Amino acid sequence: MGAQIALQAALHGVDTALVDVSQEQLQRGMAGNRQWLERRVEKGKLDSEHAEQASARVRTSTDLAAARDSDWAIEAVVEKEDVKRAVFAELDQHLPPNAGIATNSSNIVVSRLAEVTQRPELCCNMHFFHPVLVMDLCEVVRGPKTSKQTVQRALDWSRRIGRTAIVVEREVDGFIVNRILGAASREAFTLLADQVAAVEDIDTAVRTGLNWPMGPFELSDFSGLDTVLGVRRDRMEREHQPGDEATVAVLERLVAAGRLGRKSGRGFYDYSEDPPAPLPLPD
């Protein structure tokens, strides 16, 4: 997501530093961006000069000191609080004094991160949706110490890079979209665990009956089942809604079997087949 946020900014004239601890990950992210640009050019939706200019605006580094001249930083690392806190603390050391820091997390609120910085009033959540280059929304979430000016800057910055931005006025698990989606998803997992219907039938019902582009299990595969498990487990420990146990139990079985969704080729579905074929749950 970090690579796509960087490209989305670059497409709108923003010079961007994309930083990762792994050079291989940087290369993979930039390669994915190039492929996306090439497809847009081939389809006539983007001219080649604009594509080349956007690609050139993204510079890569394995050193967070590359952020030293930035006005704004967006953290999009793994969904682990200790890792995010370390990134926030290091960004705080490198960024100019008035630069803002946002976390892209949909699960970890900024008040759990901003306390390691000297600028909590300049910190917020900016939750983009995957894939960033396609999904239009950014949820800007106000932390308890986030200033009004920072919220406005986050809104303005999101809109500057071509995204629709809304404000979540206080921290709440799941924010808006994922909170609503999570309630529906818990019901789907409960129906599956209770053997009310099969994976493919629940997905078909949601796609055709609710007109969703993906069913809940297709969406989980798309997001990565290990990522979804981490979010669900964390949320269950902090909030505990009915159906959480069923969701976590099913996901734990799949992840333990190495079935992580699309990225591993197998999850609720087998992606070596076209169209993907539903798989039985592991024992």
- Tokens representing 20 are 């990762």
Order across the sheet with 123-128: list the strands.
72-75, 100-103, 123-128, 137-141, 164-168
**If pLDDT is split at 50, 70 and 90, which confidence band does 254 have?**
very high
Is 106 known to be catalytic? yes
pLDDT value of position 48: 96
Task: Output the pLDDT for position 100.
Answer: 98
Which of 115, 184, 185, 106 lies closest to 146 in space, CA to CA? Answer: 115
- Report the helix count and the strand count for the chain, using DSSP H and E: 10, 9
| Percentage of the chain exceeding pLDDT 90 | 87
Q: What is the mean pLDDT of residues 9-35?
A: 97
Q: Which of 75, 79, 139, 218 is catalytic?
A: 139
Residues near 79 by beta carbon (within 8 Å), at least 6 away in sequence: 105, 107, 108, 227, 230, 231
User: Which regions of 3-122 does DSSP assign to beta strands (E)?
Assistant: 16-19, 58-61, 72-75, 100-103
Which long-range contacts link 148-152 to residues 24+ away (Cβ below 8 Å)? 150/100, 150/121, 150/122, 150/123, 150/124, 151/124
In this prediction, residues 252-261 reach a mean pLDDT of 97
β-pairing, 269-270 vs 100-103, is unpaired
Q: Using only C-alpha atoms, what is the Rg of the chain?
A: 20
pLDDT score, position 234: 82
pLDDT of residue 191: 94
- Predicted local distance difference test score (pLDDT) of residue 123: 98
Structure tokens at 71: 């006005």
Residue 74, strand partner residues: 102
Query: Residue 163: which pLDDT band, with cuts at 50, 70 and 90?
Result: very high
Comparing CA positions, the residue from 159, 165, 167 lying closest to residue 12 is 159
Q: The tokens of 72 are what?
A: 């704004």
Cα 264 from chain centroid? 18
* Cis before 275 (ω within 30): yes
- Mean pLDDT (the chain) is 95
Mind listing the pLDDT tens digit for each residue in 27-83?
Answer: 999 999 999 999 999 999 999 999 999 999 999 999 999 999 999 999 999 989 999
CA geometry: angle 170, 69, 18, nearest 5 deg: 75
CA 138/CA 165 separation, integer angstroms:
5
Query: What is the C-alpha separation between 13 and 53, in angstroms, rounded?
Result: 9
- pLDDT for 161: 98
Looking at residue 282, its pLDDT comes to: 93
For the chain, domains (ranges, CATH) are 2-168 (3.40.50.720), 177-278 (1.10.1040.50)
- Which of 107, 111, 178, 220 does the annotation list as catalytic? 178
Whether 166 has a pLDDT exceeding 80, the answer reads: yes
Count of CB atoms within 10 A of residue 281's CB?
14
Is 178 part of the annotated catalytic residue set?
yes
pLDDT at 7: 98
Provide CB contacts within 8 A for 223, sequence distance 6+.
130, 261
Which candidate in 106, 111, 185, 220 is catalytic?
106
> What pLDDT, on the 0 to 100 scale, is given for residue 224?
94
**pLDDT in the model for residue 149:** 98
- Plot region of 13 (φ>0 → left; ψ -120 to 50 → alpha; else → beta): left
| pLDDT of the residue at 50 | 97
The pLDDT, as a whole number, for residue 188 is 95
| pLDDT digit string, tens, across residues 184-243 | 988 999 999 999 999 999 999 999 999 999 999 999 999 999 989 988 888 888 777 777
